[in-house]
Amino acid sequence: MMTEQTIEAPIESKSLVPIVFTATIFLSASLLFFVQPLFAKIVLPEIGGAPAVWTTAMLFFQTVLIVGYLYAHVSTRYLPVKVQIILHLAIWAVALFFLPLGIPEGWQYDGSGSTALQTLLLFAAGVGVPFALLSANAPLLQSWYARSDGPSADDPYFLYGASNLGSLIALLAFPFVAEPFFGAQDISFGFAAGFFLLGICLLFSGMAARAGRMTTDAVSVGTADSPSVKEYAFWALLAFVPSSLMLAVTTKISTDLGSIPLVWVIPLSLYLLTFVVGFSKRELIPPKLLKLAAAASVVVAGMLFTGTGGPHLSLTKSGILIGTFFVIALWAHRALYGARPHGNHLTIFYVTMSIGGALGGLFNSIIGPIVFNAIYEGILTIAVAAVLIALPWLDLSIRSVGRGLCVGLIGGGIFAILTLAIGTEHPAITSIVLLALTGAAFVTMRHSLTAASIASISVALTPIAMSEHNNLFKDRSFFGLHEVVDYTDQRIYRNGTTTHGAQQRSDYSARRPTPITYYHQNGPMGQVLTSAAVDAGSSIGIVGQGIGSLACYSQPGQDWHFYEIDKMVDRLARDPSLFTFMSSCAGDAPTHLGDARVVLESQTDMRFDVLIIDAYSSNAVPVHLTTREAVDLYTSRLTENGVLLFHISNRYYDIWRPLSRSAEDLGLVAWRQLYPGDRRNDPTDYASEVVAFTRSSQTPFALDDDDRWRRMESDGGIIWTDDRANLLSILRWPGR
């Protein structure tokens, strides 16, 4: 054992010690959560706009968090404080070479490779070292504080609340403060300045730790038994539930409502807020009341995830789901705080927590899309939460499990029969029936909590089992949920809850099926593709293949090319048992797989007479496909007299605004059509919004003489670039 040393404190007043440590951990956490959206914004034009890129990035951050926590654990356990400080500042110095943040030189996206793997590798090469250092700071600084003479040095967990408060503020500051007023490059320089300041704060914190009374290898706060395997498992599961549920809620809302602003910010902010509240010494909610609220939230969230009351979320149901997530996460994090070990085991506690959180990310971003053909992660995570809440009263045995399953299957069968009798047009009635049967199953098995829980859960899951029989095709990919369903006289393809194409069922025997929905011949895209300007020798490019509806506007001798980011979409579009547009009309037209902007960038010799950008799926806005640089790229792939069309139908965003600014800046002539559709007389004629660009008003595609089109002038806003684009600025706020 090392001999104790008395070192004169560099900070004379011990009351300043907690201030120094709190400021340091607050700054570190702020930088930690600022770098995540910042680097995602930087790499977007290179890696593409896959919806799951953010989920994969979250997996990277959670995995590196484990590395950071392990480093903090090993260094504090085996190294003297002086060596810890020198090593940590050395890593900080190395991390400076990665600043300001940017794409590593020579890196290039491979459209034929795994997007998830390439995303992970890119983040590792670009931001891995700075993020690893930031990740280690929370447990490391708490360990250092435990060695100091500061107030509450024997229980430094309060600093974790300050850490998560910094994370929360940074998370909200990025979309509301940084992004609206600064470009990615400016934000990156600001991050670099903050990172440099952090090094100074780390130095002062380390000096305060060395000035404490104890400089031995272990934190001198007494002795405590090592945690058991059960305790490790309990910590990991408690950390797993909020992490997985946060991502499941985000995915569910994004799928049902579209990627509206704050759809990931709100759950993630609440996730961090539950850490702040949960790791506070003050008990804001009595434990019994919080546990009861969490149990009720598990029931409500389970109903929403299983589709009770309707398969899709409304805005109100989304708010309720977010509320239940908050309560469950708060209970889990408060339970984690209550189960925290002695200060001697602080770092291994955080390592275990980070592993549980990373397992949540791994389950939702990698395992779920591979194993399940629908979004079941939320249901399974809710089941884990239910088990954790009921753990003290569970009596697991083969008998209790078997009895519960039997009663559950009987109840589920009764629900299925009654649902078929009632019909799907009365969701409120079927919801009441499901609740009644679920309650009856629980009461029947009330003498065994395990059997009662299994019975009621089995009944509650019946709607999922029934929904599987309504789908001709249902599967998941990295890019989302895909379904093909027959409705009366149409077969519809949905991505999430958004219809991305349909075919008349009576058309399957036709030689050339008729394009319908947004691609109806009366609509803007149909108008252009059937115009006199499109002749037999035209070259046509379609970004966003869908089910291939537009292919049936092709003429003999034309050269058609499709661009699709999702292999699964190409597969279902070319399957004649599902849709026949491609098989009947596309011939040998190739589908170029990968992010369209990345692929087109490499096709320097490609030129189109008509290029249609139809990639704004599920009400999301792929920003990197909408910037000035993107529009400039598309225009460079047009023939001299070619036309560029954007299909921008959207519930939430005025996408024409940034496009109008880019058109003016690039000297393009722009038109816009708000096509109302005519579903009263023709149910297949959908409304749509399309803008068109040409290099001049004298081309064959000029639309000045067509009353259906109106010249589009710039709205005068800031031009969107790869460096600066503010999604909130084009949101359709009430009254706008």
pLDDT, position 497: 63
Q: What per-residue confidence (pLDDT) applies to 51?
A: 52
Contact 646, 543 (CB under 8 A): no
Residue 620 has pLDDT above 90, yes or no: no
| Annotation: CATH topology of 11-69+81-218 | Growth Hormone; Chain: A; (1.20.1250)
Across 183-197, 282-296, 310-324, least confident range = 310-324
Between CA 583 and CA 589 the distance in angstroms is: 10
Query: Which residue matches tokens 């139908």?
Result: 649
Mean pLDDT of the chain: 83
- Phi/psi at 456 (nearest 5 deg)? -70, -40
Confidence (pLDDT) at 597: 85
Q: What's residue 636's pLDDT?
A: 95
CA atoms within 13 A on the CB side of 710: 9
Instruction: State the burial class of residue 320 (Cβ atoms within 10 Å of its Cβ: 0-12, 13-18, 19+).
Output: middle
Beta carbons of 375 and 481 less than 8 angstroms apart: yes
Cβ atoms 215, 2 nearer than 8 A: yes
Q: What is the pLDDT of residues 385-443, one digit of tens each?
A: 888 887 776 666 777 778 888 888 888 788 878 777 776 556 667 777 777 888 888 88
Three-state SS across 230-282? HHHHHHHHHHHHHHHHHHHHHHHHHHHHCCCCCCCHHHHHHHHHHHHHHCCCC
Residue of 351 and 574 predicted with greater confidence: 574
Rounded Cα distance between 19 and 15, Å, is 7
pLDDT category at 372 given cuts 50, 70, 90 is confident
Does residue 6 surpass a pLDDT of 70? no
Tell me, what's the pLDDT at 5? 44
CATH 1.20.1250 positions along the chain are 11-69+81-218
* Residues above pLDDT 90, as percent of the chain: 28
pLDDT at residue 47, rounded to an integer: 66
Residues of the chain with CATH 3.40.50.150: 513-730
Single out the residue of 167, 139, 151 nearest to residue 77, CA to CA.
Answer: 139
Least confident piece of the model among 110-114, 189-193, 359-363, 698-702: 110-114
Tell me the average pLDDT across 220-235: 71
Q: What percent of the chain has pLDDT over 70?
A: 87
Distance (Å, rounded) from C-alpha 445 to C-alpha 425?
32
Q: Which two tokens stand for residue 79?
A: 């190294």
Cα–Cα dist 69/134, whole Å: 10
Separation of alpha carbons 336 and 676, rounded Å: 54
Distances (CA, A) of 251 to 327, 483, 484, 658: 19, 16, 20, 27
- Does the pLDDT of residue 83 top 60, yes or no? yes
Is it the case that residue 112 has pLDDT exceeding 70?
no
472 three-state secondary structure: strand
**Lowest mean pLDDT segment, chosen from 137-141, 359-363, 465-469:** 465-469
Q: Is the pTM of this model over 0.85?
A: no
**pLDDT at residue 514, as a whole number:** 92
Per-residue model confidence (pLDDT) at position 561: 96
pLDDT of the residue at 196: 95
Separate counts of helices (H) and strands (E) for the chain = 24, 12
In three-state secondary structure terms, 608 is strand
For 705, the token pair is 């003489």
Q: Region 467-479: what's the mean pLDDT?
A: 71
Average pLDDT over residues 81-110: 88
The average pLDDT across 101-123 equals 77
**Arithmetic mean of pLDDT, 587-593:** 89
Range among 43-47, 257-261, 729-733 rated most confident: 729-733
Q: What distance in Å separates the CA atoms of residue 184 and residue 194, rounded to the nearest whole number?
A: 15
| Confidence tier at 258 by pLDDT (50, 70, 90) | low
User: CATH assignment of 513-730?
Assistant: 3.40.50.150
Residue that the structure tokens 């007043």 belong to? 13
Mean pLDDT, to the nearest integer, of 325-346?
Answer: 86
> Can the peptide bond before residue 576 be classed as cis, meaning omega within 30 degrees of 0?
no
- Residue 266's pLDDT is what? 83
How far is the CA of 648 from the CAs of 612, 637, 712, 718, in angstroms?
Answer: 11, 20, 14, 19
